[in-house]
Structure 1
Amino acid sequence: MTIWNQVQSVLRRWRSPARKPAATNPDRHLLEANRNLRELIEDTSIPAAVREELSTEFEDIAEISRKLREGEIHIAAFGRVGVGKSSLLNALLRREAFSTSPLHGETTAESRERWDTLRDGHVVLIDTPGIDELDGQEREQMARQVSRRADITLMLCEGDLTDTENQALRQLCAAQRTVLLVLNKADRYTSDERELLVQRLRERCSDLLPGDRIIPASARPAPETVIRVDAGGVETEYLRERPPELGELRERLWSILENEGQTLSALNAAIFASELDEKVASRIVTARKAVAEKIIRKYCIGKGLLVALNPVPITDLLAAAGGDVALVIHLGEVYGFRLSRREASRLLLTISAQLVALMGAYWGMNLVSSALKTASAGLSTALTATAQGALAWYATYLTGKMAQTWFSRGKSWGNAGPKETARDILASLDRDSILRTARDDILARLKGR
């Protein structure tokens, strides 16, 4: 769709190795992103039912729009329980804003705090629950939520990646957002061990992240033992807290924020807008299919009963043809096209020509049944009329599916053409099952008269 084409263009420029930070135009990206968001929010062609089904996503769009207007850049911490997400964010803030506890799993819901102020806005830090307390589907859903809300995601680990962490990291990176892999609690390792571990992570994640986005840190280093000697020469040991070791992480974050912050925010907004755009389109297609199916079946039973009840055999087919024109016009309205009766008739001629060519046996049966209906002098009228009505039901269903396909392709048969389209539809349907359903439906309604 249009928004996705715009996003791909921005992505190509942003991902290009030749791109320099100075060459970006954050204001232009922000304007593009805001325009995309407004297009989605204000699009009156989106059905109310689709908006209701995607209400959470539309709320997110409104929040992202506000975020862009106010110049907010969001940084989220993501990782297992006990890996030190809350502690790391507190260390960045230089205050105890996020809840921490010796008991694992203290963070059970997303929480956020404002960090520092940028030239054109400010940074918000977001804490998230531990991913290992969720099953695979929930974890994937949380990864998607974090990715679409955060401009930068800090994926925390405390050693080599577990399978859960590796899967979560891949899900985050697949969303095309900026991710930093932070080896927290790095103070537990010697210098050599730390260097080897960072190298191991860089090799393992080489297909996901550049090497400079895998960073060691210590949000809350273990206390160091200090020996104090008093005036009398008496030695006393005590534990002294050590300051966080976040220099490399802070430097990398501020480099990204200063050079790409607003561009990242705009890009992420545009990507999310494109994703929602695709969801809306998919829901509309699904909704239209459901409505079209109901309409087709409504005309099927109407036509089947009309043919079964019509006492003049030759008018069965004539009356049915008039019903098909109305069906085509009605289906066109579902897909946003208004057809005149003349246009609908021309489409019906094309459809009928293909169905006649592929279903000669059907038309022969219909005419024979019509003749039997007269010759029987009423002895087998009910049975014959029901059979003929079922055939009319089936013919209407095929006509409706052909017309629906034509409308869903933008009033086009596509590369397949009408003949192959008709052949594909016939091959996909269980004729005998449909005829049984049609016959039972007609009989039930005749008995209920």
Structure 2
Amino acid sequence: DDLKLKILEILNREGKSLLALNSMLFADAVNDRLVERKLEIRDRNANQVIWNGVMTKAAAIALNPVMVVDVVSSAVIDVVMILSLSRLYSIPMTQHGATGLLKTIAVGLGGITLSELLVTLGLGSLKTALGLAAPATGGISLAPYVSVAVTQAAVAGVSTYAIGQVAKVYLANGASWGPDGPKTVVNTILESLDETSILNRIKDELRAKLDLQRRRETQPSVEK
């Protein structure tokens, strides 16, 4: 009975304060959930920006028969992707800044970007030769051309995916690499990267796009 009376006394004396405290705790919980939800949406949007960059580069490389243009367009697409991510995370960034960030990430990625360059140069030369040979072979060389182009594009796409994921972490952290520097961020991304899965997804989506474009080109136009 004494305990009940004590509780009633506290409620009577501090009731309004307790209600206010409870309301504040509830508001904080709601706010935390809203912030968490906002971060989830932004992360999902960032991943979509990255994938758009991946497929844009893959399509550009697959459809372009000139090797030198492949190298230049790859860098441009990566820079544009980084700028898009910076806007998403409300981080002011110039084209020069995005290029500098791309260089930093590329150095950290090392093997992946080197592989992309070697594949671009090697398969790019083969792709150019097959494309030029198409008229002389009656289009027979176009079959291996498509296979080579898709492979080259997929490898380049994986590189862009890795670059995008590293840039996302950097920007989400307020344009900071954290105490351990870029190498740690890059290594963490690389360890979680499923290259085979990404390669296959790029190839599947790219083949679907190429098939759709081919059907559109071969479909007779209907005059009104």
Q: Same fold (TM over 0.5)?
A: yes
1:184-206: CA deviation from partner (whole Å, max 9, x where unpaired): xxxxxxxxxxxxxxxxxxxxxxx
Structure 1 residue 323 and structure 2 residue 87: aligned? no
Q: Give, in angstroms, the shift of residue 265 of structure 1.
A: 2.3
Q: Quick one: which of 374, 378, 386 aligns to 2:150? A: 386
Question: Residues 339 and 298 (structure 1 numbering): CA distance in 2 closer, same or farther, change over 3 Å?
Answer: same
Q: How does 1:63-82 map to 2 (within 5 A)?
A: none
Could you say which residue in structure 1 is the equivalent of 2:35? 281
Q: Give, in angstroms, the shift of residue 365 of structure 1.
A: 2.4
Q: State whether residues 304 and 389 of structure 1, in contact with CA within 8 Å, keep that contact through their aligned partners in structure 2.
A: yes
Question: Residues 359 and 298 (structure 1 numbering): CA distance in 2 closer, same or farther, change over 3 Å?
Answer: closer
Q: Would you tell me which structure has more strand in proportion to its own residues? A: 1
Q: State whether residues 150 and 207 of structure 2, in contact with CA within 8 Å, keep that contact through their aligned partners in structure 1.
A: yes
Q: Quick one: which of 192, 196, 217 aligns to 1:432? A: 196
Q: Distance in 1 between matches of 2:182 and 2:113?
A: 14
Q: How does 1:32-431 map to 2 (within 5 A)?
A: 248=2, 251-357=5-111, 359-376=113-130, 377-378=132-133, 379=141, 380-431=144-195
Q: Would you tell me which structure has more helix in proportion to its own residues? A: 2
Q: Give, in angstroms, the shift of residue 259 of structure 1.
A: 4.0
Amino acid at match of 2:14: E
Q: Distance in 2 between matches of 1:356 and 1:372?
A: 24
Could you say which residue in structure 2 is the equivalent of 1:124? none
Q: Give, in angstroms, the shift of residue 263 of structure 1.
A: 2.7
1:274-298: CA deviation from partner (whole Å, max 9, x where unpaired): 2222211211111011111111111
1:125-178: CA deviation from partner (whole Å, max 9, x where unpaired): xxxxxxxxxxxxxxxxxxxxxxxxxxxxxxxxxxxxxxxxxxxxxxxxxxxxxx
Q: Give, in angstroms, the shift of residue 249 of structure 1.
A: 5.9
Question: Residues 431 and 318 (structure 1 numbering): CA distance in 2 closer, same or farther, change over 3 Å?
Answer: same
Q: Give, in angstroms, the shift of residue 401 of structure 1.
A: 0.7
1:402-422: CA deviation from partner (whole Å, max 9, x where unpaired): 111111111111133211211
Question: Number of matched residues?
Answer: 203
Q: State whether residues 386 and 442 of structure 1, in contact with CA within 8 Å, keep that contact through their aligned partners in structure 2.
A: yes
Question: Residues 301 and 358 (structure 1 numbering): CA distance in 2 closer, same or farther, change over 3 Å?
Answer: closer
Highest Rg: 1 or 2? 1
Gaps of 5+ in 2: 134-140, 214-224
1:277-333: CA deviation from partner (whole Å, max 9, x where unpaired): 221121111101111111111121111000111121111021121111111111112
Q: Distance in 1 between matches of 2:64 and 2:113?
A: 23
Q: State whether residues 300 and 397 of structure 1, in contact with CA within 8 Å, keep that contact through their aligned partners in structure 2.
A: yes
Q: Secondary structure at the match of 2:180?
A: helix
Q: State whether residues 304 and 392 of structure 1, in contact with CA within 8 Å, keep that contact through their aligned partners in structure 2.
A: yes
Instruction: State the TM-score, normalizing by the size of structure 1.
Output: 0.43
Q: Distance in 1 between matches of 2:212 and 2:113?
A: 32
Amino acid at match of 2:102: L
Q: State whether residues 356 and 363 of structure 1, in contact with CA within 8 Å, keep that contact through their aligned partners in structure 2.
A: no
Q: Distance in 1 between matches of 2:199 and 2:187?
A: 18
Q: Distance in 2 between matches of 1:358 and 1:417?
A: 19
Q: Secondary structure at the match of 1:415?
A: coil
Amino acid at match of 1:421: V
Question: Residues 359 and 326 (structure 1 numbering): CA distance in 2 closer, same or farther, change over 3 Å?
Answer: closer
Could you say which residue in structure 2 is the equivalent of 1:441? 205
Q: Distance in 2 between matches of 1:262 and 1:375?
A: 82
Q: Distance in 2 between matches of 1:441 and 1:283?
A: 29
Instruction: State the TM-score, normalizing by the size of structure 2.
Output: 0.82
Specify which structure has the bigger relative contact order, considering alpha-carbon pairs within 8 angstroms and separated by 6 or more residues: 2
RMSD between aligned residues: 1.9
Q: Give, in angstroms, the shift of residue 357 of structure 1.
A: 4.9
